[in-house]
Amino acid sequence: MDLLTVVAIVIAVVGLGLIVASGRSQRSGREAARLAAIERKLDLVMGHLGIEEPVPTEDPEVVAHLVKGEFIQAIKVYRERTGTGLAEAKDAVERIAHQRGLR
């Protein structure tokens, strides 16, 4: 095979890889948008029915990390236990720390 053929094959393979990756990215973007829409609708239904999401109780492991000054680890544990996002977990852990006078 000459150099031109090899370069053409490499370009084709890289291009195909980019196309596949792009399709996955678009799909995950659509899935995230669908999930966000479902969550908004569920929030509206729960609000209409007067159902409030239960507030998670303080996890002893989260508090233990806060007592040791391990704020980031406390957020990680909180996220694992509750399934919340980073910003929400950070706010919740800060609230727990403030209530206990740890921060």
User: Are the beta carbons of 80 and 66 closer than 8 angstroms?
Assistant: no
Q: Which of 57, 76, 79 is nearest to 65 (CA)?
A: 76
Say whether pTM exceeds 0.85: no
Domain edges within the chain: 1-53, 60-99
pLDDT, tens digit only, all 103 positions of the chain:
677 787 778 888 887 777 777 666 666 778 888 888 998 888 888 888 888 876 667 889 999 999 999 999 999 999 998 888 999 999 999 999 998 888 6
**Overall size of the chain counted in residues:** 103
Cα–Cα distance for residue pair 28/53, rounded to 1 Å: 27
Cα–Cα distance for residue pair 76/64, rounded to 1 Å: 13
User: What is the distance, to the nearest Å, from the Cα of residue 99 to the centroid of all Cα atoms in its chain?
Assistant: 26
Give me the pLDDT at residue 94, please. 93
